[in-house]
Structure 1
Amino acid sequence: MVASPQTDKFAAHLRMLKERSGRGYDRLGKEAGASGSSLHRYCSGLSVPTDYRVVHAFAKVCGASAEELRELHRLWALADTDRDVPATTEAAPEEEREPESEPEPGSRAEADHPAATLVPAATAVPAATAAAGDSEAAGTGDGDVTPAGAAAEPAARPARSRLAEKLSSRAAVLAAAAAVVLVAGFVWLPVGSSAGEAPSTGGELLYSPACRTVSMGQHDECVREVQTLLMRAKGKLAIDGDFGPETLRRLTAFQVLAGLPATNVVDDATKKALYGRQVSMTTWSPARVAKRVREVFAEDPDTAVAVARCTSFLDPLYVLPNTNGSRNWGVFQISDARLQDLHGTPLRAFDPDWNIRAAHRLWSVRHDFHDWPSCEAALKKTPSGTAGG
């Protein structure tokens, strides 16, 4: 893959954790459930893992703090997003590139750029062309059509050069008229307007044109408003105006609890639910979760609590997105596929008691934690020795 600034930052964070641990790639790989060569590629910025659980396990065996884990997840999400950027973007010739004021592809500015209104306004162009055609039929045409019965004049061939000039001028006029129509369309269609869009009521910021969409990677007052509303709903997150992995996890949990599709963006339905104050994100404390895990996993309570802490920090509303579009849910981070096997749903997975008992059902198949390979490998004791790699 082509290295990017985000990949470099992600790799630098991994190297910092590795160097601080004082251990080599081979030993860290054995403890994290990954190969030493793979960890070396990640730390060198040569590749980005598609499964964050590998990164999480590596950071845990390196002794990363909760704050460092959150930052590492943020960096991984940004680096993973960069892998999807088409390589042709950078290869475009200079003369074909837009002016410097053009927004970056996929950026917030692109969504709010006037080009978004190009299609509705462009529908007026055929009308302008038709009007020009009508004027030609009325006698302002180029004279290329000879009236019926008229004889061809000897000077007709030289006149064709003048005719071409007139056609070229008329094409320029029509193009200018089309441009005027398009510009008029830009003025007439305000950025962020659309049919059926929720009106601004009571001065709520998220209903303003500036907050038409709020999504991952955004950093502004719209994000701060979303974070404030999530906090008001008893969601636990920082209010910093930065839409990162933490905000995405809380937004996803809120949408599920509100009975909405987990869209990863703050759409109109989510805005209405956020301002409606009908959804509470109150849930069990980590201490209560640990107590219940010990009760259910009576056969191996210490390991079960350690696995739950490794996967979700004992947070019943923890959500972890995967690069293939699936997600892991709740205390034991039960995947979408496993939820289907257990006849569960994301909403049920947020019930800590159901999640813990469902995890015990998975454990009972082989009486081990094979469904959590990264955490299980990190918990295994390895003999001390010289660091490899």
Structure 2
Amino acid sequence: MTATVDPERFAAFLRSLKERSGLSYEALAQRTGSSRSSLHRYCSGSFVPPDYGPVHRFALICGASPTELRELHRLWAVADMSRMRDAGEGAGEGKAEGESKSPEAVGSPARTDVTEPVPTAVVDAAPTATGTGTAAAAAAAVNPWRRRALPILGLCLLLLVAGGTWMTLATRQRAAAEDADDGRLLFSAACAEPVGMGQHDTCVEEVQRLLAAAGADISVDSSFGPQTLRRVTAFQVLHDLDPDGVVGTETKRALYAPKARVRSWSPKKVRQRIRQVFAEDPDHAVAIADCQSFLDPLHILPNTNGTRNWGVFQISDTRLRELGGTPRKALEPEWNIQAAHRLWERAGDFGDWPYCERAYTESSS
């Protein structure tokens, strides 16, 4: 990864968080304690802050989830390393020439405490204190065999090592061949790493293209922002994968061989069904759902505490467990609308959606 790409990915991630929050640079500056110009430089990629603290405060105020915070810290660390590497270029030049060399490298005198080996011929011919002439003859006969056997044994050992290395390489090549670059860009060297939030390149474009081919309503703009995060997470839920919003190996395989369509009801159909189910107060219910998800059945929103809200009425993980549902169930518009109606009946109002309820009340008044 080049030094230029590292800060760009870091900046793109920050921009996506800012866009999702809807806050201006002025508002963020007041809440983070950083200057407006500094925040703008972070998001433009022209400067990587040497301290992670301002970045962390920025992300928290923008509503970053724990997973996003971990990824942001990783991107900052990589970008900061690039900054330090650029600043340190040339600082180490000439060091190698000035480094001290080992005594052996500068021609230190040979050691004199090493016993010189005795020639084999001398050993063979030397009489032993306790041996007989027959034993000496036997020893003389064995030693030449040993001299011939040692090279043979060494050669065998070398062949065994070479064979083991070859088998290991062959095994790795066969494993790599399963995911070889056979026209699938996500399995090429260019996209070897997982594709995730804040990334902006051809790998993201390929993910978006495959999602669109699977029926997802998504813009193919090469930028992994909140919309792509929602669609990737929905795709993972529909394919029984870990819904972490990151395109790893399993998600890549599924994208090239999708088993489910990432398509659901249109906003018009969602609106009609909400009015039917919430016959007691249809306009109010539609306004709440529109505020929560823009009437998108596959809308998924991560929270700062690691939980998520799902579907048309953005039912939280907590409510989902209470209602006996699952993320997959929550993405089914009929189940989601009926579950929201049960919550409404139980409370007698739309208190489960306080932000949108407050907005509706203020707009009505």
TM-score band by shorter chain is: 0.5 to 0.7
Residue number in structure 1 paired with 2:292: 311
Which residue, 325, 337, 340 being the options, matches 1:359?
340
- Distance of aligned partners of 1:355 and 1:195 in 2 relative to their CA distance in 1, 3 Å threshold: farther
How many residue pairs were aligned? 249
- Distance of aligned partners of 1:245 and 1:195 in 2 relative to their CA distance in 1, 3 Å threshold: farther
What is the rounded CA distance, in whole Å, between the counterparts of 1:203 and 1:240 in structure 2? Answer: 21
Which residue, 169, 184, 195 being the options, matches 1:204?
184
Q: Deviations over 1:164-221 (max 9, x none)?
A: xxxxxxxxxxxxxxxxxxxxxxxxx9xxx99956522531101112112111111110
Which residue, 343, 353, 360 being the options, matches 2:324?
343
Q: Which amino acid is the alignment partner of residue 203 of structure 1? A: G
Residue number in structure 2 paired with 1:273: 254
Residue number in structure 1 paired with 2:279: 298
1:296 and 1:357 in contact (8 A); partners too: yes
Q: TM-score, normalized by length of structure 1?
A: 0.54
What is the rounded CA distance, in whole Å, between the counterparts of 2:228 and 2:16 in structure 1? Answer: 23
Which residue, 242, 245, 269 being the options, matches 1:261?
242
Q: TM-score, normalized by length of structure 2?
A: 0.58
Which residue, 99, 111, 115 being the options, matches 2:85?
99
Q: Deviations over 1:337-368 (max 9, x none)?
A: 11111110010011100000001111111211
- Distance of aligned partners of 1:367 and 1:47 in 2 relative to their CA distance in 1, 3 Å threshold: farther
What is the rounded CA distance, in whole Å, between the counterparts of 2:277 and 2:286 in structure 1? Answer: 10
Question: Displacement, 1:373?
Answer: 0.6
Which residue, 220, 233, 247 being the options, matches 2:228?
247
What is the rounded CA distance, in whole Å, between the counterparts of 1:276 and 1:255 in structure 2? Answer: 13
Question: Displacement, 1:45?
Answer: 4.0
Which residue, 216, 219, 236 being the options, matches 2:200?
219
Residue number in structure 2 paired with 1:232: 213
Q: Deviations over 1:93-137 (max 9, x none)?
A: x9xx842299xxxxxxxxxxxxxxxxxxxxxxxxxxxxxxxxxxx
Residue number in structure 1 paired with 2:358: 377
What is the rounded CA distance, in whole Å, between the counterparts of 1:316 and 1:141 in structure 2? Answer: 81
Residue number in structure 2 paired with 1:130: none
Question: Displacement, 1:230?
Answer: 0.1
- Distance of aligned partners of 1:204 and 1:284 in 2 relative to their CA distance in 1, 3 Å threshold: same
- Distance of aligned partners of 1:373 and 1:199 in 2 relative to their CA distance in 1, 3 Å threshold: same
Mark the runs of 5 or more structure 1 residues left unpaired by the alignment. Answer: 17-39, 49-72, 103-139, 147-188, 385-389
DSSP 3-state at the match of 2:301: strand
1:252 and 1:263 in contact (8 A); partners too: yes
What is the rounded CA distance, in whole Å, between the counterparts of 1:44 and 1:195 in structure 2? Answer: 56
Q: Which amino acid is the alignment partner of residue 287 of structure 1? A: K
Which structure is richer in relative contact order (CA contacts within 8 A, separation 6 or more)?
Answer: 1
Structure having the higher Rg? 2
What is the rounded CA distance, in whole Å, between the counterparts of 1:260 and 1:89 in structure 2? Answer: 29
2:17 and 2:63 in contact (8 A); partners too: no
What is the rounded CA distance, in whole Å, between the counterparts of 2:301 and 2:173 in structure 1? Answer: 32
Q: Percent identity?
A: 47
- Distance of aligned partners of 1:278 and 1:10 in 2 relative to their CA distance in 1, 3 Å threshold: closer
